[in-house]
A = this chain, B = another copy of it.
Amino acid sequence: MKVAELISVGTELLLGDILNSNAQYLSKQLASLGIACYYQSTVGDNPDRLQKAIELAASRANLLIFTGGLGPTPDDLTTETIARTFNTPLFEDPAIVADIAAKFAQRSRQMTDNNLKQAMRPEGAEVLPNPVGTAPGIIWSPKPDVVLMTFPGVPTEMKRMWQDTAVPYLRSRQWATEVIASRTLRFWGVSESALAEKVGDLFDSTNPTVAPYANWGEVKLRIAAKAGTEAEAFAVIAPVEEHLRSIGGIDCYGTDEESLASVVGQLLASQGETLSVAESCTGGGLGSLLTAVPGSSGYFLGGVIAYDNRIKQALLGVEAEVLEAHGAVSAAVAQRMAEGVRDRTGSTWGLAITGVAGPGGGTAEKPVGLVYIGIAGPQVSVGLPQRFGDRGREWVRQVSACTALDQLRRRLIVRLG
């Protein structure tokens, strides 16, 4: 069996300036490929200590995975330290230089001399292409039965390079022999403990395993199975998934990479309906979630960020009397905002949010975390109170936007059902 080791390079990690989410991502990936990982280490931008870490890892692992230290500045030392550790000269790769220059040109910026540093690779090393950033990595076997790969520390770049190049490389060389497949069921509107009570003994299952995760109001159940092929693994998952879905009911809104916004979008698109939004305390966060979905222009028209009451009146037609009688944070105003944005944009559905996100602005009657969701559609027009508690401004805003989507989702499903 092949054994991997992660080496995270960067003084910023040793100083705690950034969280090492790369190590978690790569650990998960290795586990899912059936590649063991016994040690992970973090070392700063210091060539002597980095060299010692490389020597140690090369003595006890077959696959060395480096993140960080590929940037253009003098403290980015990973490539040159690897080359020195294995007594191999570096050379400037003209293809990398051309690629970096093209990327700068695309953004109308000038490439500088220090970017040339990123075009250096040890003799014998292959380029590990970086489609989204300037710093490529390398794949190199500096000695028998040891392969090393380098990635930038920027998570988006590292992940793309891992998926595009590293995973196919490991599979093609039979290093990745097992498959762990997983399916994540996503829930909204149910607590982790309530869901756990319903699911019960399934958490003791060993293949597939079932594990709960909760984050920012969402609960997920991850079903993971090991098998020789992906198809076999999913065959193990299928009956458990079906069982969990039947237990979860309408609280289960989707799977894997689906989001509340994408699920709402599918429901709207299937009926040829459209949506617009009116946002007060979320200030655009609901629209941002909806438009994060590629193709959302097929059903999402837009809306109004009615942060100030003048905008609620001028652009949504909320009557001054309604605002005065109930206050901006009220069921009546949420409902009028939803109706207003629906009518003024000509959408099928209007979805509105008004609430107290905090930290200031709360009162005994209307505390931080009190939010109203307005839904106006073909046969419905309501303002729904929600109490999210004072758990921080960002939490209230995020959970408000998700709950608004979830409330609309439930109405779209019930009506179709």
- Which A residues are within 8 Å of any B CB, using their own CB? 11-21, 23-31, 37-44, 46, 49, 53, 56, 71-75, 103, 106-115, 132-133, 154, 156, 191-194, 196-197, 203-204, 211-215, 222, 224, 276-277, 279-288, 290-292, 294-297, 300-308, 310-311, 314-315, 344-346, 358-360, 369, 387-389, 391-395, 397
Q: Are A290 and B297 in touch, CB under 8 angstroms?
A: no
- Name, among A25, A296, A305, the residue most crowded by chain B CB atoms within 10 Å (CB to CB): A305
Residue of B31, B38, B39, B300 touching A16 (CB-CB under 8 A):
B31
Closest to A201 in B: B74
B28 & A16 in contact (Cβ 8 Å cutoff)? yes
Cross-chain contact A304 with B303 (CB below 8 angstroms): yes
- Identity of the chain B residue whose Cβ is nearest the Cβ of A155 in the assembled complex: B215
* Residues in B whose Cβ lies below 8 Å from that of A359: 294
Known: A107-B389, A110-B194, A112-B194. A27 touches B14 (CB 8 A): yes
Our pick among B114, B222, B279 for the contact of A197 (Cβ within 8 Å) is B114
Which B residues are CB-close (under 8 A) to A282?
288, 291
Interchain CB contact under 8 A, A132 and B392:
yes
User: How many copies of this chain does one complex carry?
Assistant: 2
Given contacts A108-B387, A308-B345, 20 further A-B contacts (CB under 8 A): A13-B27, A14-B27, A16-B28, A17-B28, A19-B19, A73-B192, A73-B196, A106-B369, A111-B193, A112-B194, A277-B305, A283-B300, A284-B284, A284-B303, A294-B360, A295-B360, A301-B310, A302-B315, A305-B305, A314-B344
Q: Which residues of B contact A397 (CB under 8 A)?
A: 288, 291-292
Check if B291 sits within 8 Å of A288, measured CB to CB: no
Most buried by B among A25, A44, A284, A301: A284
A-B contact pairs, 30 of them (CB 8 A): A14-B31, A17-B222, A38-B44, A38-B49, A71-B212, A74-B204, A75-B203, A103-B389, A112-B194, A112-B196, A114-B196, A132-B395, A154-B214, A154-B215, A280-B302, A283-B291, A284-B285, A284-B287, A284-B291, A284-B303, A285-B287, A287-B287, A291-B397, A294-B358, A302-B304, A302-B306, A302-B307, A310-B346, A314-B344, A314-B346
Q: Which 8 A-B pairs have the closest CB atoms?
A: A283-B291, A284-B287, A284-B284, A16-B28, A16-B27, A302-B307, A302-B305, A40-B42
Q: Are B388 and A12 in contact (CB under 8 A)?
A: no
Determine the chain B residues whose CB is within 8 A of the CB of A345 once the complex forms: 308, 310-311, 314-315
User: What residues on B are CB-neighbors of A49 within 8 Å?
Assistant: 38-39
Cβ–Cβ contact A311 & B305, under 8 A: no
Evaluate contact between A288 and B285: CB separation under 8 angstroms. yes
Known A-B contacts A310-B301, A315-B315; the reply to A203 vs B74 at CB < 8 A is yes
- CB-CB under 8 A from A287, the residues of chain B are 279, 283-285, 287, 305, 307
**B residues less than 8 Å from A38 (CB atoms):** 14, 43-44, 46, 49
Tell whether, in the assembled complex, residue B16 and residue A24 are in contact, meaning their CB atoms are under 8 Å apart: yes
Chain B residues closer than 8 Å to A14, beta-carbon distance: 27, 31, 37-38, 40
